[in-house]
Amino acid sequence: MAAAAATASGALGALQASRARLVAAWCAQLGLGLGLPGSVTSTRAGPAMWAQGWAPAAGGAVLRRGYSSEVNAENELRVRYLEEENRGIVVLGINRAHAKNAISKNLIKMLSKAVDALKSDKKVRTIIVRSEVPGVFCAGADLKERVKMHSSEVGPFVSKIRAVVNDIANLPVPTIAAIDGLALGGGLELALACDVRVAASCAKMGLVETKLAIIPGAGGTQRLPRAIGMSLAKELIFSARVLDGQEAKAIGLISHVLEQNKEGDAAYRKALDLAREFLPQGPVAMRVAKLAINQGMEVDLVTGLAIEEACYAQTIPTKDRLEGLLAFKEKRPPRYKGE
């Protein structure tokens, strides 16, 4: 029995060591900037992207709500690179007022292009996902479009939604969902893919798919239990219950709840405050910390600690780490460059 135990222990140690080597190799492959490969590398869109409705703008400093008004109102997704003291913050604004921001083929296409560009842009420090339509975050799937689909089209389309939501979850920088209104079905799944969620007290959110004799298909059955626990997640999905902001805060679904303001953007303003808190921190450290947390939560503690060790090692040779130590010594704010 002792020999068997020793063999099992050795096998476990070998497995853990193997996992640690894989994590270290992955981190090394990502490089110190930890940028992920994407099909779009420019930090600003060219004319072709403008024509397709993917419209980055450099607003943020000129208007109180933090974005430029020089964007075609018909764009269903507005991508804004904020400037001045907000430089490094990018806002993804969903703008399908006629459909309560419901997820359509076109919106998924634009989200996919935007995420591909953002995940390889090392100047991006934090991403906020919000609605530009008052009273709604995202009402879920566009059922008017869905009802026109042949049954053979539904599965592949839901797979595409799931893939884009996963890409958002895997963005290398912190992401914040600002829920200022309705977030149902796929809308809540989109928010669950973000690292932090904030909501107005009047917001309504829930995974309501069972009412339509289907189940959440963009990660909801997996991310909701991880956020609030299995038993409560089952209860909410089985009942298709809709919660307000206060109820969502009480169960840990969101991090902050705000009384809505007259502009209807209380959650967005809180998200912007949080993003500003993130900005002064070391860029490499932020990316590696997210990686360590996300990967570590999916494994046992011993393997998670090995992941942390491998990720920590990525910060040691960086110029940012040396700058942080020097700034501490000189009692001044650090000047990080993400190197």
- The catalytically annotated residue of 141, 177, 218, 285 is 141
Q: Where does the chain have alpha helices with state H?
A: 2-30, 47-52, 105-118, 143-146, 151-169, 186-192, 220-228, 230-239, 245-250, 266-278, 283-296, 301-315, 319-330
pLDDT in tens, 150-166: 888 888 888 999 999 99
Question: Which residues, given as ranges, of the chain have pLDDT below 70?
Answer: 1-74
From 186, 187, 304, 324, active-site residue: 186
117 CB-near residues (< 8 Å, 6+ apart): 38, 40, 41, 42, 43, 45, 79
Residue 320: the pLDDT is 87
Q: For position 23, what pLDDT does the model report?
A: 53
For residue 209, indicate whether it is catalytic: yes
- 184, 206 Cβ separation under 8 angstroms: yes
State the pLDDT at residue 329.
Answer: 86
What is the distance between the alpha carbons of residues 189 and 326, in angstroms, rounded to a whole number?
42
CATH H-level superfamily of 77-279: 2-enoyl-CoA Hydratase; Chain A, domain 1 (3.90.226.10)
Q: What is the pLDDT of residue 35?
A: 36
Predicted local distance difference test score (pLDDT) of residue 242: 97
Q: What is the DSSP letter of 148?
A: T
Residue 250 is a catalytic residue: no
Q: Catalytic site residue 330?
A: no
Q: Exposed/middle/buried for 225, CB within 10 Å: 0-12, 13-18, 19+? A: middle
Spatial separation of the C-alpha atoms in residues 259 and 183, rounded to whole Å: 17
Short-list 312, 308, 287, CA closest to 121: 287
Q: Identify the CATH homologous superfamily for domain 283-330.
A: Lyase 2-enoyl-coa Hydratase, Chain  A, domain 2 (1.10.12.10)
CATH 3.90.226.10 residue ranges in the chain? 77-279
For residue 177, indicate whether it is catalytic. Answer: no
Please identify which residue in the block is written with the tokens 């709500």.
65
As annotated, the residues of the chain forming the CATH 1.10.12.10 domain(s) are 283-330
Cβ atoms of residues 86 and 66 within 8 Å: yes
Q: What is residue 66's predicted lDDT score, i.e. its pLDDT?
A: 39
Given the residues 76, 132, 189, 308, select the one marked as catalytic: 189
pTM of the model: 0.78
pLDDT the model gives residue 75: 86
Q: Which residue among 209, 217, 267, 292 is the active-site one?
A: 209
Query: Any idea which residue has 């492959």 for tokens?
Result: 29
Could you give the angle at which helices 283-296 and 319-330 cross, rounded to 10 degrees?
120
